[in-house]
Amino acid sequence: MNQRNHRKWLPVLSSLTVVVGASAVTQLPAAALRYASSIFNPPYASISRSCDGTLACELETAAKYNWDFRKFAEAIAASEWQDSFARQQGEAVLYTVFVPTDAALSESEWEQLMQPENRDRLERFVRSHIVEGAITPAQVEAGSVTTLGGNAIAIVTDDNGEPVRLGTAELAGHHRALNGVLLKVDGAIVQP
């Protein structure tokens, strides 16, 4: 390209760069409005290389490697939900699971819950920590979500609209599995 053509195209390319850059910047706030609460829809990343990425496998891995929500993972394994959490429909979020840490209940409460004679209590407790599908921006905006156990759980947000509490439990982390979202909470959403 000679110097004359170079001078001709330089202003055109500069203008194009400004237009593309400006349109990208103006789209950022719109994207944020579509789903401000990214904690409910984090990107997928498996916890373990030996895991198939489903909720079932992620919870099995948590129990195996003694993570801080091992007790709830064991409760899921003892309940009717293990098979449901292994099911996939592409990468659709089939369930959002509020996962209480081991400190959410005392050791004796966890032991009592796991007794064979308390199977109904265990199932109610587990269902009270599961929401079918993904939590939507409308639910976050409304400030409530209903679990499969029929419990309406308040979603408390900070000044930026980001969720910080579910009921009385504080959000302590999140993880996206292939077929759902695990939201770690520091307390039980519903007591057993």
Whether the predicted pLDDT of 152 surpasses 60: yes
State pLDDT tens for residues 42-53: 554 554 555 777
The per-residue pLDDT for 28 is 37
The mean per-residue pLDDT over the stretch 116-141 comes to 91
Going by C-alpha positions, the residue among 137, 138, 146, 130 that lies closest to residue 180 is 130
Separation CA 135–CA 70 (nearest Å): 24
Whether the predicted pLDDT of 173 surpasses 80: yes
Going by C-alpha positions, the residue among 159, 157, 166 that lies closest to residue 185 is 166
**CATH code for the part of the protein at 38-185:** 2.30.180.10
Using pLDDT thresholds of 50, 70 and 90, give the confidence band for residue 19.
very low
Question: Are 162 and 37 in contact, with CB atoms under 8 Å apart?
Answer: yes
pTM over 0.75: no
Domain spans, the chain: 1-34, 38-185
